[in-house]
Amino acid sequence: MSSSPPRTRIAVIGSGPSGSILSALLADKGVDVTLFNGGKRPDMIVGESGIPALVPVMRRLGIEDAVAALAQHKPGATFSFGSESPIQLSFRSIEGILPAYSYNLPRPQFDQIIENRARRSETRWIEKEATILVAPEGSNREVILDDATLALVPEWQGEQPDLIVDATGRRRTVAKLLKIPVKTGPRKDAAHFAHYAGWKHPGPPGQIIISRTAFGGWSWQIPLKDCMSVGVVIPREILNSFGATPGERLEAAIARDPILSAAGPDRKRISEVPIYSNYQLISDRAYGPGWAAVGDAFGFVDPMLSPGMWIALRSGECLADLIQAEGGNRWDTLLATYESEMRGRLTAWQELIEKFYNGQMMAAYATGESFMKMIPGPLMKIFNRHVDRHFAAMCCGAYTERPYSRKLLDFVCKNPRGFDPKDYAIG
């Protein structure tokens, strides 16, 4: 008699976007998945601007219609970093590469849609926080679920799962437990954000606006269906000069900045003001014997250009695609492949975002525009369109990791003719 190999057992800790997509996709392919849900999500969650690369992920999960019903259609992004008129990027320039749109997402509701998708799968759902411990010496794994957590899954009969996945976001449970070193980014900003009613937006509808602020940091305006999400990213050294409370600081920042204060006197804050600080952080390791980390639990680059949620979802997708439902998983190789793909992705985004902060990207754009005026003609037009398409596809998540696009961007960024990157840099 032949017996079928045992099903792979995975414990996912955390039901944010990365944990929910991972659980849904694993359960769809027949893996024995248990998800531990850490409780109610907050009413305000930062991360409301989506990039076009999110759309194929939503389609894979079969949730795009549900998202479209509550999210704001997003046709592009406007950047205002220099003294000239703002640059309006339309996602139409990536037609044929990715869907030429994305969404601005009310996060608690969007997260709930992904969570519901996981709930509709065969995922075993445990409404309790999981407790993870360092494994005892001599064990072939680095971390384990404690006895009380394991007892919540009687089907596993006291046996540890094949893999524990840390999807606990910035809590980074396993990395902290194992004291894994991190690489932090150069920026030490604090982001404050809130929702506003009556906020005047220059359009087009749904277009997000990213602008350098008069005081050195930068800001976002993300139109949601029924309000405007407004965020300011303030360098730490000057934070206290804006006020004592988060609300005071956000209002002072808006008042001090001409682009934000153009929102008009009718604006009214309708939410609390959450703060996020020191968020540029990537762990030196995303896996070890018996565990892996997805989403922010592995790393987060920066809010600039909004790649966070897509990277978090892609990490869940990437790991789910590598795991087989029944036996045969060569964990070391599989997890090394996962980490290498995700680290490459985070590094590519870091590289791209740095070019926004140091002003190279905007100086290159201004150079292209001025060449178009000085040397009009079909060849210059074709070259400029080629460069624009690659820039746009990198910012939208399609070409960010492509060697050719990265080299092209490096080339144009290193040759700004007559435009000084310092004039566009964000201090």
Ligand X SMILES: Cc1cc2nc3c(=O)[nH]c(=O)nc-3n(C[C@H](O)[C@H](O)[C@H](O)COP(=O)(O)OP(=O)(O)OC[C@H]3O[C@@H](n4cnc5c(N)ncnc54)[C@H](O)[C@@H]3O)c2cc1C
Residue 139 amino acid letter: S
Contact code string over 253-292 relative to ligand X, x by CB under 6 A: -----------------------x--x-------------
Distance of closest approach, residue 31 Cβ to ligand X, in angstroms: 19
Answer for the pair 17, 111: CB distance below 8 angstroms, yes or no. yes
Minimal distance, residue 115 CB to ligand X, in Å: 9
**At residue 282, what is the residue type?**
I
Report which residue type is found at 40: K
State how far the alpha carbon of 384 is from the alpha carbons of 63, 352, 389, 394, in Å. Answer: 36, 19, 9, 15
**Is 130 a binder of ligand X (CB under 6 A)?**
yes
| Least distance between ligand X and beta carbon 265 (Å) | 27
Is 18 a binding residue for ligand X by CB under 6 A? The answer is yes
d(CA 204, CA 214): 23
User: For residues 47 and 82, which CB has a smaller minimum distance to ligand X in the complex?
Assistant: 47
Q: Which of 8, 9, 10, 14 binds ligand X (CB under 6 A)?
A: 14
Encode 257-274: b = buried (16+ Cβ within 10 Å), e = exposed: bebbeebeeebebeeebb
Distance (Å) of CA 130 to CA 111, 122, 148, 166, 167? 20, 19, 9, 10, 11
Nearer CB in complex with ligand X: 293/362: 293
Q: Which is nearer to ligand X, 8 or 306 (CB)?
A: 306
Number of residues that bind ligand X (CB under 6 A): 38
Token reading at 407: 């080299």
Among 308, 368, 397, 421, binds ligand X (CB under 6 A): 308
Q: Does residue 176 bind ligand X (CB under 6 A)?
A: no
Phi (first) and psi of residue 35, to 5 degrees: -110, 130
Q: In the window 149-168, what residues touch ligand X (CB under 6 A)?
A: 167-168
Nearer to ligand X among residue 27 and residue 130 (C-beta): 130
Residue number, 50 or 421, with CB nearest to ligand X: 50
Q: Which position among 11, 17, 118, 361 is part of the footprint of ligand X (CB under 6 A)?
A: 17
- Per the listing, tokens 């954000």 go with 193
Per DSSP, 232 falls in state: E
Angle at the Cα of 63 from the Cα atoms of 10 and 94, rounded to 5 degrees: 110
Site for ligand X, residues 26 to 85, rule: CB under 6 A = 36-39, 41, 46-50
Q: Which is nearer to ligand X, 279 or 399 (CB)?
A: 279
CA distances from residue 385 to 117, 369, 411 in whole angstroms, order as listed: 39, 11, 15
- Cβ within 8 Å of residue 300, ≥6 positions away: 170, 279, 280, 281, 282, 308, 311
Binding map of ligand X across residues 183-212, x = CB under 6 A, - = no contact: --------x---------------------
Instruction: Name which position in 162, 257, 296, 339 contacts ligand X (CB under 6 A).
Output: 296
- Cβ 373 to ligand X shortest distance, Å: 34
Binding site for ligand X (CB under 6 A): 13-19, 36-39, 41, 46-50, 129-130, 167-171, 173, 191, 276, 279, 295-297, 300, 303, 306, 308-310, 312
